[in-house]
Amino acid sequence: MRTTAKVNDGQLVSYIDHGGTGPAVLLLHSYLMDADMFAPQVESLGDTFRLIAMDERGHGGTPADRPFTYWDVARDALGLLDALEVPRCAVVGTSQGGFIAMRMALLAPDRVAALALLGTSATTENPEVAAGYRQVAAAWREHGPTQELLDLNATICLGQYDSTEWQAKWRRLSGEHFDRVLTPLVERDGVLDRAPEIRCPALVLHGSTDAAYPVDRARELAEALPNAEPPVIIDGGAHFLSLTDAGAVNPHLRAFLGRPGLA
Q: Residues of the chain with pLDDT > 90: what percent?
A: 96
Q: Is 233 helix (H, G, I), strand (E, B) or coil?
A: strand
Spelled out in words, what is the top-level CATH class assigned to the domain 3-125+189-257? alpha beta
- In whole numbers, what is the pLDDT of the chain averaged over residues? 96
**Averaged over 70-79, what is the pLDDT?**
98
DSSP string computed for 132-147:
HHHHHHHHHHHH-S-H
Q: What is the pLDDT of residue 42?
A: 97
Segments making up each domain of the chain, as ranges = 3-125+189-257
Q: What is the pLDDT of residue 57?
A: 97
**Averaged over 41-58, what is the pLDDT?**
97
Q: What is the pLDDT of residue 263?
A: 60
Q: What is the pLDDT of residue 202?
A: 98
DSSP string computed for 76-87:
HHHHHHHHTT--
Q: Residue 202: which region, alpha, beta or left (left: phi > 0; alpha: psi -120 to 50)?
A: beta
pTM above 0.95, yes or no: yes
Closest-CA residue to 250 (of 263, 262, 232): 232
Q: What is the pLDDT of residue 262?
A: 67
> At 260, is the pLDDT very low, low, confident or very high (cuts 50, 70, 90)?
confident
CB atoms within 10 A of CB 215: 15
Sign for the CA dihedral angle at 156, 158, 159, 163 comes to negative
